[in-house]
Structure formats: C-alpha cells, structure tokens
Structure 1
Amino acid sequence: MPGSLRWLSFAVVLTALPVAAGVLVLREDAPATAPPPPPAYTGTALDDYDTSTVTLSRGPFCDRIPEEALAEALDGDAATTTTYANGEAADLAPGVRDVAHEYGCHVAGDRGAVVRAWLFAPPVTRSRAQALADEAASRRSCTRPAGAPAYGEPSVALVCPAGSRRWVSFRGLFGDAWLACSLAAPAALAEQELLDRAGRWCVAVAEAAAISD
C-alpha cells in the first residue's frame, strides 16, 4: 500500500508539471499592460494662467510644445518649422541673422499665420528685464493692449502691424529666465481673437519651457 501511494503521488506530480509549465508560458506571453494615454490637450487662456508660479529651465523647449497647441495658434497645419539653440546661427528677426544666445523656434502655418517663441540662454536680472520690456514697448506703430494679462514680471504685451498681417507678442521675466512668444495672423482677424490665440500659444510655450516636478 505504501508503494502504491508513492507511485500515485509521483503520477500526480508528473501530471501537474505540464499544467504549471503551461500557466508560466501563458503568463510570459501575455501582453504587458499599456500605459494610459496622455491627457488630451486643452488650451488655456493667458488670463487664466498664473505666470507668477512658473519656473523655467533655460534650455531647449520647442520639441515639447504640443502639436495641438501649434494647430490652435496657426488655425491650421504647420508648413515650415525652424528651431535653433544657443550658439547657433539663426534668423533672429526678419533680415537679421546672427549667432543666437537663446533657444527658439518659428513655425509658419498653411493659412498665413506664423508663431515664434524664444528663451534667453543667459540669466536675466530684473533691471535688465525692465529695460527689455521698455525697449520692446518703444517700437513705433505698436500699441500696448489695455488690460493685457501678465506674462512674467515685468512683462509687456504688444500689437503691431506687419504688412497684410498683425502680430501680438508677450514677453517677460520668469525668475531669471526671459521668455517671449508671438503670433502673426492676417490683419482681417479681430484683435480680441488674435490676442486670445496668442495668449493660449504663449501659455503652451511657458508650459513647454517650465521645469518639470
């Protein structure tokens, strides 16, 4: 009897081994759980964005701007995209090509709009930032929209004509980082809509340049 029990136990073990092996194979072949998709992009009005709490990293940021933010600002698709980094030769303004001491990008859309963003590489003091804001505000033909939201401190907002287009820019100091952004669109676009689109674009730019937690 003891011998029969030993054989019976041995048979049970042999039968269980393939079953266990099958379970292991199934577990190894099971697909890994996919990570949850990132939250859908939702534009934020600059009026609703507290720039006083934002800290920026003075480094490349353009590749972190959501495609949806670009499409929203351009009211269409991107046609050409140019990015540049600190120390590279770049077109810093129409007709001005020089070695950049900033990180930036500009994107032309397929419906006539153009967006830009640039972030100074060296740190900027508060007094220097005020001088930059005053210099920008002194441009002839540009106006400062009443009640424009802050974009850092100090900051300045401008609306300027540019041929068949108008452009809106916001620029300001975030800690020791000077950040600027702009949107140029056909002049037929209402100023308030232009300001809103530019503000949402500038929020996306600040979020892309912000230091992650």
Structure 2
Amino acid sequence: MLVNPDAQRKAQEEIDAVVGTNRLPDYNDRPALTYIEAIYREIMRWRPVTPLGVSHATTDDDIYKGYYIPKGSVVIPNIWAMTHDESIYPQPDLFRPERFIKEDGQINDDDLILTFGFGRRMCPGRHMAEATIWLTIVTVLSTFNITKAKDSDGNDIPVDDDYANGVISHKLPFPCSITPRSAAARDLILEANTAYDS
C-alpha cells in the first residue's frame, strides 16, 4: 500500500462504505468487499511468497503434454512465471487489483491462489491461511494509513523495491509511517487488543 496509495485509498473507501467506522471488519464482510478481495488476490499473484512453490517427486512414469517424465523426477512449479504470464495477466509487474474485477463490478472467477500448491497435495492449511491473510489486510486497511516515512527535512524517504530471493520471498525492511486513520480507529485497535489479551 505504501507504493500503491490509490489502491489503499480505494480500499479504505470501500471498507468505510460497507463496514463503517464503528467496528472492525470481520470475515462475514468478505463477500461485500469486492475491492479488498481483489487486493488479496493481486498481492498473492504479484509477489508470491513461494515463487518456486514446493517441489514434488513423481511416483510413476508420466507423459504430460507430450513430455515424458520418468518416475522419481523432481517437479518444481514456477509460480512466479505462472502469475506473471502476460497472456493471462497483462502488465504483470504492475500492482492492479482491478484485473480481478469484472466490468459489472463483481469479482471474477480467477480465484486460484497458486502459492498454496496444486491438486491433492495442495496445502491443507490453505483455508486458514487465506482467511488470516485476508483478515489482516482488511483490518490494517480499515484502521491505518500507510505512507512514506519522512526524513529530518520533511521529505519522503524513497522506498526501494527490494525483495529477498530464495525459497521464501519477502520485502526487505524499509522505512514507512503507519498511523491510525482516526481516533476512533485507534480506539477500535486498542479495544481489540485488550479483548485479545484477556
């Protein structure tokens, strides 16, 4: 959201219109929060946590699309290539949640989150992980503004687009400013934190 302030603003407008500002969003709000759903899908597509997925070994000889794959072969799914295929996702390096929204304003059918794997070996915890990630996104956006940090002269500190490479990919540390959207938003977070601690 730091480098996509328009998406942050649009998401916050949707949350305010659907949920209001007197409570935190919950999972029951998910069907009505189309743009938040699109942001979730775009985050999972744009920067997959596991760019090369989880490798598997074949248990039998197989032929797939004319290719012979011998038993015991290690198969590594290139999630990054799949989620950056320009024939499916035009301008794949751009963060564009709108790619998941149809012309009528509804979410499209592209709900395959490749990070969780494929077929019967798909991550068994994917539903819990998906719900947790979605709830984190919507809660943070409903209560906080994420903006560039300022230097001592009050100028924006530029943010490098650097990510860790490897089996797990994540954004490298960067300066930013995270502030409550309002006093009411701050109070909601404090109330939730108090309830969690008790």
TM-score range, shorter chain: under 0.3
TM-score scaled by length of structure 2:
0.21
Q: Which has the larger radius of gyration?
A: 1
Q: Which of the two has greater strand per residue?
A: 1
Q: Which of the two has greater helix per residue?
A: 2
TM-score scaled by length of structure 1:
0.20
